Amino acid sequence: MGALRVLFRVFKSLQLAVGVIVMLAASLAAGTFLESYYDTPTAKFLVYDSWWFSLISGLLAANIAVVALSRWPWKRHHTAFLLAHAGILLMIGGSALTTYFGIDGTMVVSEGEVSNAVEFQDSVLYLAENERVDRVRIPWLPPNRRFSAIEVPGYSLLISKYLSHASPDVRFTPASGKGAPAVRLLLKGGPMQLRQEIWLWAGEPSWAVTDFGPASFSLLYSSPPALKKGSGGPKGKASMRLYVSPDGTLHYRTRSMRGEASGGSVSRGKESMHEIDPGWRGLTVKILEFLPRAENATGYVPARIQYGPQAPGPAIYVTVPGGGPGMWLGLGDRGTLALPGRDVLMSFGPRRVILPFGIQLNQFTIEHYEGTRNPSSYASKVQLAEEGKESDPFMISMNEPLTHGGFTFYQASYVPAEPRPVTSVFSVNRDPGRWVKYLGAILIVLGSILLFHRRIQQTRKTRGAKSASVTEERPL
């Protein structure tokens, strides 16, 4: 009992209250600085979601509760004091509910599409072997934060490297056995004096075809078709198709936006530095490297942009403990890791929550400041997509969110595109502690009003008593 009394005196002391308030103010100032100088995820990781910030909030709650209990038994004149303290406790409790049980993610929707998936900052590695599917959650870390390797139980794998924001380092190496053709192209010239390198690889559909502005490029492991007008691609779009015949010869077929077709072949052994003029308004295509048999050796490096909404997603490196084959996976990548006697299919993506309803984007609108391309405002015209229901259209703008089913959708940003953006980015929030915090704020205001009213009454009584005393003492 003696130890409890000492602990009670410590928690109700003014010194503890002042120390906790100073620490809380310093923490909030640090969080505000990190959020403005870096970004919100960094501020949440280093401050708001940290264990020590929870400890400071817990000490403040304990101090307030013990101070309120120290007035027991409570009297009528304690009402304002108790209301204010109860309000602060409710606000701290509501914030804890938001932190541990709330949802704060993003949703990306393009015009004419419906989405019900909310994506979060942390990511998930999915692994599949035969009919078995497992998932490993990978918490997000700020850039330059030390990453502790994660073991993948049941697969003898190790996630040994993690990059918070990564850019692909595209590389293909010659393959001794199995492999597919790969070619590295340089696009240069044209009205905009373009200079851009691209890789094409016939080993995977996502690498075999790429769109670059108004032109498309593709690489096929087959003999080329006969050269004739219209063979180069869809009408109205420039295209270049590269073919690698079974004997290893590289052929090409091009088509201009006007439908003019051309083609040819490149002598074996002379593919590198061969230049092709497809007739695209001065744009030429140079073959920098050609590999008849290649394997994908693409890795990831830290991105040039490491903070803010423009920073790309994370990447991980999965390997076998003690050495062996490894594979880099960026956000959205899939791959198969060949292990002795087994193949493991892996997929790396953001952690998601599927909502019971969807959001359909009908139209995205954006306005710019006069004479500039700087956006002044943007908004999304959406509809709720629920089974068996048809909703009226809603307008979500920068200052007008949409609330439905306990979730609030804010207009966060958009994906830049020309001639205009057609993809909207929503911030999705579910805050189970919101009403608890609102109630706490109401109690604090009510307690402050009662306290102010009581002080006015006390002042009036004091002035009345002084006035009566002066009247009694005044001589006749």
pLDDT in tens, 296-345: 888 999 999 999 888 999 999 999 877 777 889 999 888 888 777 788 89
Question: Which one-letter amino acid corresponds to residue 43?
Answer: A
Span 340-357, average pLDDT: 90
Joined together, the tokens standing for residue 53 give 């910030």
Burial of residue 465, with CB atoms counted within 10 A of its CB: 0-12 exposed, 13-18 middle, 19 or more buried = exposed
Going from the C-alpha of 78 to that of each of 10, 44, 177, the distances in angstroms are 22, 37, 84
pTM for the model stands at 0.77
* CA 318 – CA 334 distance, rounded (Å): 12
- Top pLDDT among 236 and 273 is at 273
Q: What is the reported pLDDT for 236?
A: 64
Span 197-219, average pLDDT: 87
pLDDT band, very low/low/confident/very high, at 231 (cuts 50, 70, 90): very low
Three-state SS for 82? helix
Q: For residue 12, which phi and psi values (nearest 5 degrees)? A: -100, 5
Residue 314 contacts residue 164 (beta carbons within 8 Å):
yes
Going from the C-alpha of 39 to that of each of 108, 120, 143, 311, 423, the distances in angstroms are 19, 15, 11, 10, 22
One DSSP character per residue, 403-451 reads EETTEEEEEEEEE--SSS--EEEEEEEE-TTHHHHHHHHHHHHHHHHHH
Distance of CA 280 to the CA centre of its chain: 38
Model confidence at 229: pLDDT above 70? no
Residue 365 contacts residue 378 (beta carbons within 8 Å):
yes
Residue 247 contacts residue 146 (beta carbons within 8 Å):
no
Question: Which one-letter amino acid corresponds to residue 131?
Answer: E
Give which of 19, 51, 54, 48 is closest to 31, Cα–Cα: 48
Three-state SS for 57? helix
Sign of CA dihedral 166, 171, 173, 175: positive
Give which of 16, 334, 47 is closest to 7, Cα–Cα: 16
pLDDT digits (tens, 9 = 90+) for 86-143: 999 999 999 999 989 999 999 999 999 999 999 999 999 999 988 888 999 999 999 9
pLDDT band, very low/low/confident/very high, at 194 (cuts 50, 70, 90): confident
Q: What share of the chain is helix, strand, coil (3-state, %, to 5)?
A: 30, 40, 30
State the helix-helix crossing angle for 51-69 and 2-11, rounded to 10 degrees.
Answer: 110
Report, in angstroms and rounded to the nearest whole number, the Rg of the chain calculated over CA atoms. Answer: 33
pLDDT digits (tens, 9 = 90+) for 371-429: 888 888 999 999 998 877 878 899 999 889 999 989 999 999 998 887 889 999 999 99
Within a 10 A sphere around the Cβ of 334, how many other Cβ atoms? 14
